A = this chain, B = another copy of it.
Amino acid sequence: MPKDVIKSADRVFGVLELFRDQQAPLTATEICKYLSYPKSSADALLKSLVSLGYLTLDSNTMRYFPSLRVTQLGEWLPRLLLGEGDTLSMLDELHKFTGETITLCMPNGLAMQFITVIPGTFPISLTIREGQTIPIFATAVGIAQLATRSTEDIQKLAQRANRRTTRTDERVDIDVLKAEIETARSNGYVEAYDRVLTDTGAIAMALPMSQLDRTLVVAVGGLSERIKTNRTQIIQKMRQAVWQLGHSEAS
């Protein structure tokens, strides 16, 4: 567990993630086994989740299962962040076309967070875990996201990042950043090779603006050489797919 995370909070999501992955009712003992919790701790937590209405318990089988109130916590988000388009279909389309790892990210503090990852089909593919984060300043997805913001906002963020870090090699060179942003805005996409992730190339594009100042980014990533070789087709397909997303009607 990451340091400085409240244990119960981590466990709440651990339980919900387990159900999301298993998609079946589970007993307390099964949940304990999967998540390596002490029995009485898990029991207290599960009872809390039932009292709060987020888990249901079948009193005959003693199996727990999430309630639809879990769905209600998050079902309102896609429309605000993604609009009416079918983003998942778009990601699948990119995946079918390229065979590479397709990712959807959203900005989070000084990082980009991977929301959705569709793994590449090649033996050598970019491997990223959903939920993982990556720096916002030195990556294709980060630059693509920053390019959607005002120059003023970007400058404030860079200054804040520089205040926070003590290591000189982590400092953001604002002039270099500005140039990259310019290129990104001009091209409508960002390419990055062998940067934060070794041997990895990525081409990133911002999605049509969300209703909030949290523009999401889609990226195609994989072995640098392969991405470079196919860059023209990848960029073309991404442009088409993102354009289509922005012009889909409410379904």
Chain A interface (Cβ < 8 Å from any Cβ of B)? 2, 4-10, 12-13, 16-17, 20, 23-25, 44-45, 47-54, 56-61, 65-78, 80-82, 104, 106-110, 113, 115-116, 130-131, 133, 153, 156-157, 160, 212-214, 216
For the complex of A and B, the 10 pairs showing the least CB-CB separation, nearest first, are A71-B74, A70-B74, A8-B8, A56-B108, A53-B131, A5-B48, A68-B115, A6-B48, A9-B48, A57-B109
Tell me whether A107 and B58 are in contact in the complex, defined as CB-CB below 8 angstroms, given that A9-B52, A65-B212, A212-B65 are known contacts.
yes
- Docked pose: A109 CA to B107 CA in angstroms: 40
Which of A56, A61, A76, A82 gathers the greatest number of chain B CB atoms within 10 Å? A56
Contact across chains for A67 and B113 when beta carbons are under 8 A apart? yes
Interchain CB contact (< 8 A) of A214 among B50, B52, B58, B214: B58
Contact across chains for A2 and B52 when beta carbons are under 8 A apart? yes
- Docked pose: A90 CA to B106 CA in angstroms: 34
- Docked pose: A80 CA to B6 CA in angstroms: 31
- Docked pose: A74 CA to B52 CA in angstroms: 16
